[in-house]
Amino acid sequence: MVVGKRMLAVVGVLVGCCLTSSGRAQGKQLTTEDYARAEKFMAYNVNPLVYHGVARVSWMDDGRFWYRDNGPDGMTYMVVDPVKPTKTPAFDHAKLAAALTAASSGTEDPPGPPRRAPRADPGGTQADDGPRTLISGDRR
C-alpha cells in the first residue's frame, strides 16, 4: 500500500514537471530571423541540392515504371523494368534534337529538362501545363 502511494506521488511529480516545462517552451516568441533560418530547410530550397532522388514513379500498363532523375547534368527521364531488371533513359536527347532539327529545318540544341514533371493523363499520354505532348499511346 505504501509503495503504491509513493509510486503515485513520483508519477504525479514527473507529470507536473513535464507540463510545466512544455508550457514554458510554448511561450517563446519567434522572430523574423527564426523564420528565415527555418526557411533555409524548406523543400524548395533543399531539393535542388540533392541529386538522384526518386520522389514519384509512374507505372505503365506493361509493368514498367518511369521516374524523373535530377542529376548534376540536368534532368533525365528513366524507364525501369523490374522483371528484367533494367534501367535505361526514356529517350536520347541527341536523337530528339536531330529529329527536331530535321522537322523544323533549323538548328536545335538538345532539349533541356522541363521545368515541371508531366502529369499523368488517362489514355497513355503525358501532358504538361503547356501544349499536349504525346509520349506513348494512340494519337487523338
> Percentage of residues in the chain with pLDDT exceeding 70?
60
Q: How far apart are CA 44 and CA 24, in angstroms?
A: 32
Domain coverage including residue 56: 51-111
pLDDT value of residue 44: 87
Span 78-102, mean pLDDT?
Answer: 89
95 falls within a domain: yes
127 falls within a domain: no
- In this model, does residue 67 exceed pLDDT 70? yes
Span 89-97, mean pLDDT?
Answer: 85
- Higher pLDDT, residue 56 or 26: 56
Element (H, E) at 17: helix 2-26
Span 23-51, mean pLDDT?
Answer: 85
The pTM assigned to this predicted structure is 0.47
Reading the block at residue 1, the C-alpha cell is 500500500
pLDDT value of residue 20: 59
Provide the domain count of the chain: 1
78 falls within a domain: yes
26 falls within a domain: no
List Cβ neighbours of 128 (8 Å cut-off, separation of 6 or more): 114, 116, 118, 119
- In this model, does residue 60 exceed pLDDT 50? yes
77 falls within a domain: yes
| CA-to-CA separations, 124 to 24, 27, 74, 80, 89, in angstroms, rounded | 56, 54, 25, 17, 18
Neighbours of 70 (CB within 10 A): 19
Per the listing, cell 507536473 goes with 16
| Cα 75 → chain centroid | 13
Element (H, E) at 95: helix 93-104
pLDDT value of residue 75: 82
> Percentage of residues in the chain with pLDDT exceeding 90?
26
- Higher pLDDT, residue 56 or 35: 35
pLDDT value of residue 136: 45
pLDDT value of residue 18: 64
10 falls within a domain: no
- In this model, does residue 66 exceed pLDDT 90? yes
Neighbours of 68 (CB within 10 A): 20
42 falls within a domain: no
Span 19-35, mean pLDDT?
Answer: 75
How many helical (H) and strand (E) elements, i.e. helices and strands, does the chain have? 4, 7
